[in-house]
């Protein structure tokens, strides 16, 4: 196996993530708190992120041959990095392209460190993350309750009228808090269902999960809340059928489908008004335009039609926003956002990356990798209304890369074992 005779993989492999997470998730510790643009340009931020990236690279470099092996097989990701860099030639902000390119490569190093620990010791990976996440969630709740001037959003931005009164906790924005809570939900559920944990760890997982959902409710981040619920139900369902084999598993699956079908039909018969577009949007506190997203998507499609092949460049949409005089920092759809920034070429390469990821995982036992399937699927669905694909620094994109590198490592393990036999 590629990790045989390698230095021990331990908790230190999460240190780059801890630095990355603190800088991304605790905005009030940063200079120019309250100004996202100024903080993105902060020299202190760039130096601190560089520390996390450099530390991750050093840890990976000590694993002789591992980093070379993985990145030589992560060809779609390598191509996306290359497209990111060369887009500086047609960007109005070439300096931003270089900075975002370095963030992309650095985030890959950090996520790869996490994937190495996850691959080598799943229980330790989730247990350590749980300790970090419960501290973060409790701090978020405590700071927001004690200092609502910090933890509750009050926006004077005409583009952010829907965020006033929502919790943002220690972050810049309620949706940022929602994204972190989605990550926390994954960590807590994985500890509960997919590790050999003690009752004490299970108790902490329940407390963390409860706190995460409370923060989601107060942040009113509907995308992250719905996906967290779906992730929880999905893991419960997979655990329910995962311990069965053969005919018993098939019976459980059919029973579940039958219950869902009957439940939906009864709901439609007894309360037909509930099965309507108007009621759905009212129930989630949104309108049919998804808080203005649909009009933003129309602008994005126009931007794509203007530069369909290689896009406007990977400068954080700055060239595109400058041309259209928009105040948004994203298009609230990761796939459209990627289409505008990188054009059809980048979307095609990302599709190849997804094919590589799932083709590697599908050859493994499903029940052993439910937590990775759940991680990847919620990130992909999250990008239906938010943008995180190839956006850095981003906890959601980091989550995706952890799943991607983990799939490469598990696929290699399978190939190695086959060849050894």
Residues 293-330: tens digit of each pLDDT: 777 888 888 889 999 999 999 988 888 888 877 666 77
Cα–Cα distance for residue pair 202/199, rounded to 1 Å = 5
Comparing CA positions, the residue from 340, 362, 353 lying closest to residue 410 is 362
- Other CB atoms closer than 10 Å to residue 121's CB: what's the count? 17
Residue 7 DSSP class: P
Return all residues near 136 (Cβ < 8 A) that are at least 6 apart: 21, 25, 170, 180, 184
Q: Which two tokens stand for residue 124?
A: 């330790």
Give residue 415's pLDDT.
55
C-alpha 295 chain-centroid distance = 25
Strand, coil or helix: what is 314?
A: coil
3-class DSSP state of 147: coil
Identify the pLDDT of residue 281.
45
Locate all alpha helices (DSSP H) within 157-292, ordered by sequence.
Answer: 174-193, 199-219, 222-242, 246-270, 277-283
- Calpha distance 338→380 (Å, rounded): 13
Asked if 376 contacts 356 with a C-beta cutoff of 8 angstroms, the reply is no
* Contacts (Cβ under 8 Å, ≥6 apart) of 73: 408, 412
Q: Tell me the C-alpha distance between 220 and 231, whole Å.
A: 18
Contact 372, 403 (CB under 8 A): yes
Q: CA 263 to CA 91: how far, in whole Å?
A: 53
- Considering the entire predicted model, what is its pTM? 0.86
How many other CB atoms are there within 10 angstroms of residue 165's CB atom? 12
Q: Are 291 and 229 in contact (CB under 8 A)?
A: no
Buried b / exposed e along 53-87 (16+ C-beta atoms within 10 A): bebbbebbeebeebbeebbeebebbbbbbebbbeb
State how far the Cα of 4 lies from the Cα of 92, in Å rounded to an integer.
Answer: 48
Neighbours of 268 (CB within 10 A): 11
Contact yes or no for 23/49 (Cβ under 8 A): yes
pLDDT score of 271: 59
Distance (Å, rounded) from C-alpha 139 to C-alpha 299?
39
CA distances from 154 to 150, 331, 341 (A): 9, 22, 30
Find all residues with CB under 8 Å of 162, minimum gap 6, and list them: 291, 292
Low-confidence stretches of the chain (pLDDT < 70) are 1-7, 28-42, 64, 155-163, 242-292, 326-328, 364-368, 412-421
How many angstroms separate the CA atoms of 113 and 59, rounded?
7
């Amino acid at each position: 196996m590629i990790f045989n005779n390698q230095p021990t993989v331990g908790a230190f492999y999460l240190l780059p993530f801890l630095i990355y997470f603190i800088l991304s998730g605790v905005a009030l510790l940063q200079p120019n708190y309250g100004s996202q643009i100024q903080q993105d340009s902060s020299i202190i931020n760039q130096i601190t992120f560089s520390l996390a990236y450099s530390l991750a690279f050093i840890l990976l470099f000590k694993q002789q041959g591992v980093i070379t092996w993985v990145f030589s097989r992560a060809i779609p990701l390598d191509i996306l990095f290359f497209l990111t860099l060369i887009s500086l030639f047609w960007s109005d902000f070439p300096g931003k392209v270089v900075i975002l390119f370095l963030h992309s490569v650095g985030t890959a190093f950090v996520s790869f460190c996490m994937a190495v620990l996850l691959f080598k010791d799943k229980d330790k990976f989730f247990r350590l993350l749980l300790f970090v996440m419960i501290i973060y969630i409790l701090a978020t709740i405590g700071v927001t309750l004690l200092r609502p001037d910090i933890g509750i959003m009050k926006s004077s931005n005409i583009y952010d009228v829907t965020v006033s009164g929502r919790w943002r906790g220690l972050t810049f924005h309620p949706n940022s808090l929602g994204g972190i809570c989605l990550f926390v939900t994954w960590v807590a559920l994985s500890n509960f269902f997919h590790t050999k944990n003690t009752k004490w760890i299970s108790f902490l997982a329940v407390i963390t999960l409860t706190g995460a959902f409370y923060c989601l409710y107060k942040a009113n981040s509907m995308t992250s809340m719905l996906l967290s619920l779906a992730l929880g139900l999905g893991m419960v369902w997979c655990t329910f059928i995962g311990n069965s084999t053969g005919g018993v598993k098939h019976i459980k699956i059919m029973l579940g489908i039958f219950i869902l079908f009957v439940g939906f039909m009864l709901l439609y018969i007894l309360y037909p008004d509930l099965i309507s577009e108007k009621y759905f949007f009212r129930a989630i506190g949104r309108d049919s335009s998804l808080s203005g997203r649909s009009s933003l998507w129309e602008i994005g499609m126009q931007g794509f039609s203007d530069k369909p092949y290689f896009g406007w460049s990977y400068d954080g949409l700055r060239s595109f926003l400058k041309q259209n005089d928009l105040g948004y920092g994203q298009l609230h759809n990761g796939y459209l956002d990627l289409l505008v920034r990188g054009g059809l070429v980048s979307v095609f390469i990302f599709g190849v990356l997804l094919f590589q990821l799932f083709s590697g995982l599908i050859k493994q036992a499903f029940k052993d990798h439910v937590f990775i399937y759940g991680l990847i699927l919620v990130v992909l669905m999250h990008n239906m209304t938010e943008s995180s694909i190839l956006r850095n620094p981003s906890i959601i994109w980091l989550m995706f890369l952890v799943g991607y590198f983990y799939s490469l490592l598990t696929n290699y393990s399978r190939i190695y074992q086959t060849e050894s036999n």
